[in-house]
Structure 1
Amino acid sequence: MSMTPDAAALLGEWDELAAVAPGDRLYRTRRLSRPAQLDLRAGLREIDGAPCLVALPGGAGNSIASFETAGLRLSRAADPAGLLLVLSLEEPSRRDLFAEICSDCIRTVLRWEDEGENELVTVLAARLAAWRAFLRDQTSGLSRNEMVGLIGELLVLDRLLDENAEAVAAWKAPDDGLHDFVLSGHGLEVKTALGPTRQLHISTLDQLDDAGLASLHIAHVRLVESVSGDTLGQITTLIEQRLNGERARSAFRNALLRRGLLPGGDANAGPRVACAGIDGYAVSDGFPRLLRNDVSLGIAEATYQVEVRALAGFAVDMATVLDTFGGTGNE
């Protein structure tokens, strides 16, 4: 992750605070010039000089869950000025990453303020939760195969947005959902291949279980590399531009971060692809699959491959699937 100007400025703030004589409070802080509607400060913890991002959230801070992961800690502290919400760095070796995370959270809050929104504490909490999810699983970018999988999900999301402007809410993969998309009882699993493929990879015994669902379908996204195609960064930008209002765009950016995509990356990174087609399959009786109730009790989990040629009898029109799935949110 390269250092952004905002992150560099925060590092400068912490260095300047380090030159200030210690006081009798838990933190020495300096309020940022913006946002205007939320008291947000660069800070240092007095006891050990750990850099912090400190917010005075008022009563709204009581509902924000504390956490500690990957060398970062979100906690509350009592102060004469009121309740403090403190994001602190617990592993000094991650100082640059911490600066990037703090600057990203500040930018997120400023976008909302610029749009006239005033729920800034909630906005900050949602962005911190997205970073927590990202850091729980990784601290670097996606692998090539993970990029390909995410591109497939985003291409399906783009088509669902044609039918339902609220389709981002149906995207459950960023929250480790069992199925990539779920809306009004309908499930959609996305399988993506770059180049020729004969098999679909199934990662759990529950992934093709349609119990409790009105329907379950597979969208098999077929990609080819093309110099005139789009990268992951370009695809995310195009989708974000389709969304109306900062609330929807922020939800999408948080979902991308939870899904493992670092913000502010090189838009040209990764493969440049074109969609050769999306094939639809209905998961129903007789579909070739392993279900948890069908395997021996001693088998805790399994991954397996399904031959694409064995699915011809389950093929459905993908446009119809997307129309039904996307339209269910508008009933």
Structure 2
Amino acid sequence: MLKHWMGRLMTKRAIERWKRLKATGSGDGVIEVPSIDSGIATGFGTARYAIGAQGEPRLLVPVGGRVAARGLTSTSKLLVTTSSYKVSNTNTLFIDIMCLDRTLDVVFAELADEILRRIKEGFSPLKAVTASIDDFRELLKEKAREDIPENKVQGLIGELEVMRRLVTHNHVATETWTGPFEFRHDFRRGVHALEVKTSGRSDTTRVSIHGIDQLAPPAGGTLYLAHICLERVENGQLSVGLVFDRLLKSGADRETLEKGLKALGCSDPHGEDWNRLSFDLEGLKVYRVSDGFPRIIDSSFAGEHLPAGISSLEYQIDLSHAKSFELSTNDLEIAFERIAG
């Protein structure tokens, strides 16, 4: 209990020293960067609390001679290197440890305390630093990249590819892209709407429908369902960045495109996270959604609304049962012209 209390006290003192250094912008003047003596000697001088150019907490641990680079590993959260400063007119080499993630200031203070504790117990400066960082690796390690799900990348490529075809009919067709803003259909102009479903296999005929109104046309209007089949390949012809560039070359409005992309969480259409996958187009079919098309809508239920106690509905349809609704090439272009305006 006493050891734990002492540890918390040391951590608090370390944080207070860094705050004081940041507030004053100066230390005790022993070296050319703002720093304060910790009082813990390594055999080559005393370790020092210091701050970086932007007030980042640092710990300077003096060592003798050269320090092997191995063992001094930096991350996005922790910079570990060596620095040389004059102490009493003598060049002194320090292991220089700086916290880059300010949300981890308290964790860094605990790390600094552990390093100083080990030095006090007789550890060499290098061993004290490397062993302590190793103990704290779970708190200081790189955050694993959270890959964007493949189906989300596919879905965006599918919508952008449909938009590219709409733009060939009308440059302002980007304005019809309503899906990113939580409208019930992906594209809409007036009373005419287009829903896009993208599959990752060329032989897929089943698509998922989200909500009872997704396959309901606008009042007094028309609804089409575009089904795009992609095949994942290396260096494919379709990626988010490639289709985005083709849209711009076709005359699409960049600002409108980027607004929709940001609404979907894609702040950079050329970013690695959105372009780690590429595809080839295996097929595009468009269907007229009207009476007899396999779907569930309000009129499918007595009273034309969901049964009591059912708040939402998701289901799959098999488009092999909708062949009679598939548009010919000519009718497909007419449908796209209608949506594009």
Q: Report whether the alignment pairs 1:159 with 2:165.
A: yes
Cα separation, partners in 2 of 1:323 and 1:260, compared to 1, 3 Å: farther
Q: Which residue of 1 aligns with 2:181?
A: 175
Is residue 2:208 matched to residue 1:214?
no
TM-score, normalised by the number of residues in structure 2: 0.52
1:199 equivalent to 2:206? Answer: yes
8 A contact 1:159–1:322 mirrored in 2: no
How far, CA to CA, are the matches of 1:218 and 1:286 in structure 2? 14
With normalisation by structure 1, the TM-score equals 0.54
Is residue 2:281 matched to residue 1:271? no
Matches within 5 A, 1:37-52: none
Task: In structure 1, give the amino acid aligned to 2:209.
Answer: I
Equivalent in the alignment of 1:259: 264
Q: 1:278 to 1:287 in 2, by over 3 A?
A: same
Kindly provide the CA deviation profile for residues 52-92 of structure 1, in whole angstroms up to 9, marking residues without a partner as x: xxxxxxxxxxxxxxxxxxxxxxxxxxxxxxxxxxxxxxxx7
Q: Secondary structure at the match of 1:316?
A: coil
Give the C-alpha shift of residue 309 in structure 1: 1.2
CA offset digits 1:269-305 (Å, max 9, x no partner): 3321111121111110111111134242332111001
Larger CA deviation: 266-275 vs 200-209: 266-275
C-alpha spacing 1:282/1:228, structure 2 compared with 1 (3 Å): same
What is the DSSP-based 3-state SS (H/G/I as helix, E as strand, rest coil) of the residue aligned with 2:322? helix
Shift in alpha-carbon separation, 1:318–1:216, aligned structure 2, 3 A: farther
Q: Which amino acid aligns with 1:296?
A: P
* 1:243 Cα deviation after fit: 2.7
Residue 280 (structure 1) aligns with? 286
Q: Which residue of 1 aligns with 2:240?
A: 232
Q: What secondary structure, in the 3-state scheme, does the structure 2 residue paired with 1:227 have?
A: coil
Distance 1:161 1:198, change over 3 A: same
Contact 2:192 2:218 in 1 (8 A): no
- Extract unaligned runs of 5+ from structure 2: 1-21, 26-54, 56-101, 105-144
User: Would you say 1:243 and 2:251 are equivalent positions?
Assistant: yes
1:1-331 equivalences under 5 Å are 93=103, 142-195=148-201, 196-229=203-236, 230-243=238-251, 248-263=253-268, 265-266=271-272, 269-293=275-299, 294=301, 295-317=306-328, 319-327=330-338, 330=341
> Contact 1:141/1:261 (CA < 8 Å) preserved in 2?
no
Moved over 4 A (4+): 18-21, 327-330
Q: Secondary structure at the match of 2:291?
A: coil
Counterpart amino acid of residue 235 in structure 1:
V
Q: Is the 8 A contact 1:140 1:262 kept in 2?
A: no
Inter-CA distance 237–290: structure 2 relative to 1 (3 Å threshold): same
Query: CA 1:240–1:303 in 2, change beyond 3 Å: closer, same or farther?
Result: same
Which amino acid is the alignment partner of residue 239 of structure 1?
L
CA distance, structure 2, for counterparts of residue 172 and residue 319 of structure 1: 25
Cα distance in 2 for partners of 1:204, 1:240 equals 33
Deviation at 1:163, TM superposition (A): 0.6
Residue identity opposite 1:218 in structure 2: L
Question: Which amino acid is the alignment partner of residue 241 of structure 2?
Answer: G
Supply the distance in 2 between the matched residues of 1:220 and 1:287 (Cα, whole angstroms): 14
In structure 1, what residue type is equivalent to 2:159?
E
Structure 2 counterpart of 1:37: none
Larger Rg: 2
Distance in 2, Cα, partners of 1:141 & 1:262: 15
* Mapped partners of 2:206, 2:185: distance in 1: 19
Following the alignment from structure 2 to structure 1, what is the Cα–Cα distance between the partners of residues 180 and 247? 16
How far residue 323 of structure 1 moved from its aligned partner, in angstroms, is 3.3
Alpha-carbon spacing, 1:286–1:142, altered in 2? closer, same or farther (3 Å) = same
Q: Give the CA RMSD over aligned residues.
A: 2.9
Aligned-pair distance for 1:233? 2.1
Q: 1:309 to 1:20 in 2, by over 3 A?
A: farther
Tell me how far 1:202 sits from its aligned partner.
Answer: 0.4
Task: Give the fraction of aligned pairs with identical amino acids, expressed as a percent.
Answer: 28
Residue correspondences, number? 198
- TM superposition shift of 1:185: 1.2
What is the letter of the counterpart of residue 247 of structure 2? I
